[in-house]
């Protein structure tokens, strides 16, 4: 079996022997695949250095080698905070109004991708299979080819791929996409994002596409493009749910709601998650049903992210303002309708919170997949499950809300539609809740992150 080399912006570096095997989610799945193959995981350490030292930190735990490099302040500012998160991230989430186009950050993005290639290339062996992850490293495959890599190299995009007319607003968009055709396999979360990519290749590059196989031919290169919907680490998450930490969290939330229905949202503090729009919908619900202030309490957990980017500072201010206005208008001495928590919790605690909450509110404006939706379903009691309200613009909607079954799909831009879905969920009888739960739980359990890892790696190795 060929060795697997994973390259991503950040690396899950084990702190001690055995930690890698205990991780859940994507990090756990990748570590398991790397351990099976005796692999290597390369990326940024997350640390800032004064200048480019060229030093690399190598660690080995349970058969997995991690290799990390530091970045300079300029690299972080231009590559990470700049082009990756102020240009590609908003554009790929359809927020052209927030997209910044700066030549300097674009050059920084290319410079850091070149540095990644320069640093990792000596570590790649002839028979290795290489798997590159996400929007930070789109051109990395082309940089590796330029340095002589003949390996099978795959790329997976964890976020949406925008429609062609949006993508063409990006200066030098053609150059960026052409670098992707140096991969052997490109993976997307959903058929929708895959179709958008194929449309661009056909209409902007003039590529030849076999829609049945996903084969794209352009200027002598052939690449496969397919959809691989990512899942949760089912076994790891269920194991956490059986532990004392999860049970204590469930009891804590149930006790604090005092016989009111708990509704929960868990999201990074990011404008793509639709948090202000969500609060507007909840406010509309309370406006339409003021008597139900004693029936429903909403808990929004929103740990901060990318605090150095101005748009993220703004969304925190807006969210605090909207939450404060609703609580100011609807609170009583013993009731606060919305609890806004600007911090994170462990995965085990989140399992307990999800199980205690009878409504899960997952309403991003645009999301590649959204694993919170799947985790909420996985945490439910089969005999008394909660209701998932899910944005129709999340990748997970394709799996969890098909044919009107499963999740209640909602347009997150409409406060009235969101308020209506909350009322429907609040009054839903047990038989319907169980029916909707049963329509979702199979795909959450079976199409898990380990299945996803195996599917992609098999296709990449076989071609």
For residues 339 and 301, what is the distance between their CA atoms, to the nearest angstrom?
8
Q: 367 an active-site residue? A: yes
Q: Which of 128, 184, 280, 367 is catalytic?
A: 367
Q: How far from each other are the two terminal CA atoms of the chain, in whole angstroms? A: 15
CB 366 within 8 A of CB 160: yes
Instruction: Output the six-digit token pair for 104.
Output: 């300097």
Q: Which of 158, 199, 218, 413 is catalytic?
A: 158
Q: 158 an active-site residue? A: yes
Order of strands across the sheet with 408-410? 338-341, 296-301, 261-266, 359-362, 387-391, 408-410
Question: Nearest-CA neighbor of 359 among 288, 302, 278, 271?
Answer: 278
Residue 365, CB half-sphere, CA atoms under 13 Å: how many?
Answer: 18
Catalytic annotation, residues: 158, 367
């Amino acid at each position: 079996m060929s060795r697997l080399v994973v390259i991503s912006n950040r690396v899950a570096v084990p702190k001690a022997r055995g930690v890698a095997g205990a991780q859940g989610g994507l990090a756990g799945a990748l570590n398991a695949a790397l351990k099976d193959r005796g692999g290597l995981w390369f990326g940024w350490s997350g640390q800032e250095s004064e200048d480019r030292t060229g030093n690399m930190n190598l660690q080995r735990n349970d058969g997995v080698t991690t290799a990390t490099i530091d970045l300079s302040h300029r690299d972080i500012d231009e590559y990470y905070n700049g082009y990756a998160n102020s240009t590609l991230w908003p554009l790929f989430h359809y927020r052209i109004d927030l997209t910044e186009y700066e030549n300097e950050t674009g050059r920084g993005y290319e410079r850091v991708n070149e540095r990644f290639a320069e640093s990792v290339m000596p570590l790649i062996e002839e028979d290795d299979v290489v798997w590159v992850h996400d929007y930070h490293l789109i051109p990395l495959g082309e940089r590796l080819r330029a340095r002589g890599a003949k390996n099978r190299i795959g790329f997976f995009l964890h976020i949406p791929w925008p429609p062609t007319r949006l993508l063409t607003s990006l200066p030098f968009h053609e150059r960026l996409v052409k670098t992707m055709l140096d991969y052997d396999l490109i993976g997307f979360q959903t058929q929708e994002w895959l179709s958008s990519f194929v449309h661009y290749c056909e209409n902007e590059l003039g590529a030849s596409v076999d829609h049945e196989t996903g084969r794209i031919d352009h200027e002598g290169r052939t690449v496969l493009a397919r959809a691989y919907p990512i899942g949760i680490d089912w076994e790891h998450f269920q194991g956490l749910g059986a532990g004392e930490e999860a049970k204590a969290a469930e009891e804590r939330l149930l006790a604090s709601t005092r016989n009111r229905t708990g509704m929960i949202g868990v999201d990074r503090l990011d404008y793509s998650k639709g948090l202000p729009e969500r609060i507007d919908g909840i406010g509309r619900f309370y406006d339409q049903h003021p008597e139900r202030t004693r029936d429903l309490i909403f808990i929004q957990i929103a740990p901060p992210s990318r605090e150095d980017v101005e748009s993220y500072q703004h969304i925190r201010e807006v969210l605090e303002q909207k939450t404060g206005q609703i609580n100011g208008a609807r609170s009583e001495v013993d009731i606060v309708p919305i609890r806004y928590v600007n911090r994170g919790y462990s995965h085990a605690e989140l399992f307990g919170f999800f199980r205690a909450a009878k409504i899960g509110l997952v309403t991003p404006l645009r999301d590649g997949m959204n694993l919170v939706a799947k985790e909420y379903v996985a945490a439910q009691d089969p005999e008394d499950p909660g209701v998932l309200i899910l944005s129709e613009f999340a990748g997970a909607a394709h799996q969890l809300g098909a044919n009107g079954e499963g999740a209640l799909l909602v347009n997150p831009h409409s406060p009235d539609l969101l308020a209506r879905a909350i009322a429907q969920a609040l009054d839903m009888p047990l038989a319907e809740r169980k029916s909707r739960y049963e329509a979702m739980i199979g795909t959450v359990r079976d199409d898990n992150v380990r299945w996803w890892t195996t599917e992609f790696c098999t296709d990449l190795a076989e071609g």
